[in-house]
Structure 1
Amino acid sequence: MNKESLIAENGSFDGSSWNWALVWRRPLLLQREIDLAHELQAMIELVQPKVHMEDLWLWKCDSSKAFTVRSAYDFVYSFYNIGEVVDEVVMLALRRIWKTKAPRKSMVFAWQLLLRSLPVRQALVRRGVLLIHEDCVFCNNREEDVTHLFLHCDVASSVWYSLCRWLGFSSCLSDSVEGQLLTMSGFVAGKKPARVVVTIWVATVWSLWLHRNKIVFNNGVCDVLEVVESDISENKF
């Protein structure tokens, strides 16, 4: 779907009643894509636009009505502070990610990871998406949840151990992704070195996710060295 498309391009009015007809950029070929499209359709089915309302983009979390990363951060931070329970360690990790120089796309991904909103196989099954199996894409031995995929799978742990050796750290492997971030950034003194380490953490989880998707969607082969090299070279650390 075109992320810039307007509501008027994805449905039509029948009298005063609105009928959704989502327009996709390409045909949905994979069963997973079809299932997710049906899930989206069910979520928006009760949303009924008004006939005489102007169709435009507005960001309600800022007085300018224009989206900024800072206003999104402030919204999420305040949202979780006024009632939703988020582990303090996760909140600390989120704050540290905000201060990095990582590309925006990988920062958004890291936020999704810390908030456990990535479409890993365990999460998809819990949402009612039918899968052939829930096993980890890397090892095929354990259920694919966030902690296993990004930390405790043999592939992921090998990446972290290799990275720690490259950085000159003693080998470390936490029990959570946020714990891994805070532990690694705690090995260095000073704000700037800590930000560099957090940026490397972001690049590492991002590289793991891209490699995972390469295996799933492009029949790629699991390769620890490829993940480590892409982490180091492509991000120019």
Structure 2
Amino acid sequence: MDKENLDQIVWKGDPTGIFFVKSAYMSLSNQPSGYTDDVFNLLWQAKATPKALITTWRILLDRLPTSNNLIKRGMMGISPNKVWKGMWVTIVRCIWEQRNLVVFKQGVSDAEEIFHSAQLSSWLRLKHRMFKVSREAV
């Protein structure tokens, strides 16, 4: 097979046709490259904590989880108060399950296991809720 008939993968996000993370970032940020390059080069050169740099970066990209941004992304179907209450209920349930493991199956009480179980259960519940809310918005 000659070179003219070979299939080729071309990345349209870069004039060379080669994929670079920077070109993907530029495509996703939807900013003219000169603007983004200048601002972000200055930002990443600043002497600040990573948290401060990331917060500033998110502000510049309008990606802070403000009420408006969360609403735009269909993620405000749950009030923070309900989330905290739901997490508390989940933790109580995980403590109860751990207690039953100890009492009925001669298990060992493990606070870290309770924490991880509650964390996973809460995350799965929120994920399910966010998926449901975003589907309802469509």
TM (normalized to structure 2)?
0.37
The structure with the larger Rg is 2
